[in-house]
Structure 1
């Protein structure tokens, strides 16, 4: 797999398609998860990163509603939901900031009725991204779901129906 450094932002969205996860995508999304976290979660200490990485490698992604954003057979990013909550949204670093996160979240809103997400408070770019989409914090935790010292913001999509 070759890395693409020169992605044309004007044509990027049109050349990608969203496909349901299959086990043949597993190695690509594990690789994307790792590269994405290393690029965006600089607040994680290395030991915690390794523990989380080991946990993620045990996931059966079929237990979630996972969709991959692909160009040909190359996965650029993926989104995973459980019970209308976005549990994961990760991209290879070269695809971050290209409008593709919006493409996957729009799909999650319209097709999967997503309306919640948990975000690491220290991941300020992700917090801003979800706020821009209309999510608002309704709860803050002092620790993450693994009881580590990484506060989470629990966010819900604000709608005109509320």
Structure 2
């Protein structure tokens, strides 16, 4: 059983842990230097960010999502719980709040691109660089339904 709720400030360390574990499992394309630089940025903002958490029956965070003005900025699932429907549940929650939700995903993360397309997102464009100007192309997606 899982529930979705807003994050609390005292959960910052767990959220960063989820992010690190998920990135290490899915972002093998990042250089070590870029991985470290991104980690520092994430540690500076993620613990205070207004997140949606997927939590288990004991209220332990398993995954999180960040949405800003209808754009999903982040969706990360602890790798132990990947494939269990938690990410899809968070996306569905976000779509209730923002039916025309958009997101960007690293082009090199084939599993994530496939996940979003399966969820009903459609490619709307591509950028050759990520949001920090690094050489990790982004695929832009918009929810169109399934």
TM-score, normalised on structure 2?
0.93
Of structures 1 and 2, the larger Rg is shown by 1
User: How far did residue 113 of structure 1 move?
Assistant: 3.7
Question: Which of structure 1's runs of 4+ aligned residues deviate more than 2 A?
Answer: 60-64, 111-114
**Does the aligned pair in 2 maintain the 1:143–1:149 contact within 8 Å?**
yes
Tell me: CA distance 1:87–1:40, structure 2 relative to 1, closer, same or farther (3 Å): same
Corresponding pairs, count: 145
User: How far did residue 114 of structure 1 move?
Assistant: 5.4
Q: Show the 5 A alignment for 1:6-155.
A: 15-59=1-45, 62-64=48-50, 66-71=51-56, 72-113=58-99, 115-155=101-141
TM-score, normalised on structure 1?
0.84
Q: Deviations over 1:44-89 (max 9, x none)?
A: 111100000000011155554x111111131100111000111110
Structure 2: unaligned runs, 5 residues or longer: none
Structure 1: unaligned runs, 5 residues or longer: 1-14
- The CA RMSD over aligned residues, in Å, is 1.6
User: How far did residue 119 of structure 1 move?
Assistant: 0.3
Q: Deviations over 1:90-127 (max 9, x none)?
A: 01110011111111111110134451000000000000
